[in-house]
Amino acid sequence: MIIYKRHRAECQYSGKDRNQSHRCQCSIYVEWNVNGKQNVMVVRDELSHPVSSWTEAAKIVADKETKGSAPATKTASITIAEARQQFIDSKESEGNEKITIAKYKLTLDRLKEYCAEKNVTLLEEITSGLLLTWFDTQEHWSAPSARLSFHARMKTFFIFCTSRELISKNPMVAEGFKQNVRRYSKDAKKRRQETISPLDAKQVEKLFAACATTPNITAANRSRVHALMLLQRYSGLALVDASCLERDELTTDGKVYRVKTNRQKSDEPVNNVIPTFVAEELLKVKNGNPNYFFWTGESLSGSVSSHYDKIYRKVFQHAGIETNGQLSHRFRHTFAVELLEAGVDIRKVSKALGHSSVTTTERYYAKWNKAQQDLLDDDLTGAWGK
């Protein structure tokens, strides 16, 4: 069994080093061979802390050799890169969407890069402290909701690694991670409430008018975007659902038009009547695929919504409307808030939005719930007279 140091990037020494005169705080590794297979792992003391002392490391390794207990386990030498690939292969075999796989790859590649900077290459070397420090220094996910998603992806990865015995202990079970989730959840709720920004009537008219005059948009896209904005405004659909709407999901009994579809995000049903002029505008839209109003049907659903999101940005800028960090979703907010301010029961609004629970609707729109406030006012004033 051979012991050596693998120095961190910031250490005065570099690379793999067996020179015991080099006294630093970098971890010591042990390397050994079992049945022709090379194994590598960090030397740890009784408390499972990495060892940096040559004398201590030599004693620990000598004890294990004497006892014949060299740690030739499955977790001994698997690298972060190997664990990442096994995890991605597993997710792909489960049939996850390409966008989901791409997010996992991006997150784990960033983990691998950070660990490489800290001279950590083995999965078993990843500690709770290292992960918590990395989480706190991440600038890629500044929004609380993005941090929650990032945390969830990492948690899924380490649960996989633990279940496959690629790592002996899940580093994400420390209390610090639970505190992070609570903090992110609280911040995300606050951010959601701050970013709900419905459009007023004048802003809506400006946007509809700007569809015809915004530069660098083709004539075909002008009519499509105008129809798409109308659809969102009067149906409450999210952009991905509106842009992927099938023609047979617009139905009529000869008098009333309605949109009957299922949300891409939750598969919850939406069955909303829409004004006749909106339906007529939709039916005028020319598209290469006769099955859809706006989508070619050849790309991912996320790609078509991303395409129209870019055009929306141009229209908003041309109309002089601030985005407040949101574009298309402001039409959905406008739809919901208009109904609530008109006194429509929030449970009905929840159904119209395709939310799986009225709790979701309340989380976003509680302060506009006029009907509930009116009932509360009546109860309060009624109680005064008793």
The Cα 340–Cα 321 span in angstroms is 23
In the predicted model, is pLDDT for residue 74 greater than 60?
no
Which has the closest alpha carbon to 88: 106, 76, 111, 74? 106
SS (H, E, C) 40-96: EEECECCCCCECCCHHHHHHHHHHHHHHCCCCCCCCCCCEHHHHHHHHHHHHHHCCC
Which of 284, 270, 283 minimizes the C-alpha distance to 240? 270
Element (H, E) at 4: strand 2-6
Q: Report the percent of the chain where pLDDT is more than 90.
A: 39
Kindly state the helix (H) or strand (E) to which residue 370 belongs, with its residue range.
Answer: helix 370-384
- Rounded to whole angstroms, the Cα distance separating 233 from 115 reads 47
Tell me which of 29-33, 83-87, 104-108, 283-287 is least confident: 29-33
pLDDT at 245: 95
Domain spans of the chain, in order of start: 2-67, 80-195, 201-376
Residue with the two structure tokens 């959601």: 192
Q: What are residue 40's phi and psi, to 5 degrees?
A: -140, 140
SS3 content of the chain, % helix, strand, coil (to 5): 55, 10, 35
Q: How far is residue 147's CA from residue 141's CA, in Å, rounded to a whole number?
A: 5
Average pLDDT over residues 246-259: 93
State pLDDT tens for residues 124-162. 888 888 888 888 777 666 666 677 788 889 889 999 998
**Residue 73: predicted pLDDT:** 44
pLDDT single digits (tens) 21-49: 778 888 888 877 766 666 677 787 776 67
CATH 3.30.750.210 fits domain 80-195: no
Note the pLDDT of residue 75. 47
What is the structure's pLDDT at 205? 96
The pLDDT assigned to 116 comes to 87
Between residues 121 and 319, the one the model is more confident about:
319
Which has more confidence, 313 or 139?
A: 313
Contact 146, 154 (CB under 8 A): no
- Judged by average pLDDT, the poorest of 166-175, 267-276, 279-288 is 166-175
Phi, psi of 147 (to 5 degrees): -65, -40
The dihedral built from the CA positions of residue 221, 243, 99 and 190, taken in this order, carries a sign that is: positive
pLDDT at 72: 43
Residue 50 exposure: Cα atoms within 13 Å on the Cβ side: 22
Do strands 269-274 and 250-252 pair parallel, antiparallel, or not at all (unpaired)? unpaired
Question: 201-376 falls under which CATH superfamily?
Answer: Intergrase catalytic core (1.10.443.10)
Q: What is the mean pLDDT of residues 227-240?
A: 96
From residue 153, give the alpha-carbon distance in Å to each of 101, 130, 136, 156: 10, 17, 16, 5
Report the Cα 99 to chain-centroid distance in Å: 10
Q: Report the pLDDT averaged over residues 346-353.
A: 95
Instruction: Indicate whether 272 pLDDT > 90.
Output: yes
Q: Is 48 exposed, middle or buried (0-12, 13-18, 19+ CB in 10 A)?
A: exposed
Closest alpha carbon to 177 in 214, 212, 142, 147: 147
Q: Which one, of 243, 234, 240, 226, lies nearest residue 199 by Cα?
A: 234
Task: Record the tokens describing residue 73, joined without a space.
Answer: 């386990």
Give the bridge partners for 38, in sequence order.
33
Cα separation, 168 vs 268, in Å, equals 40
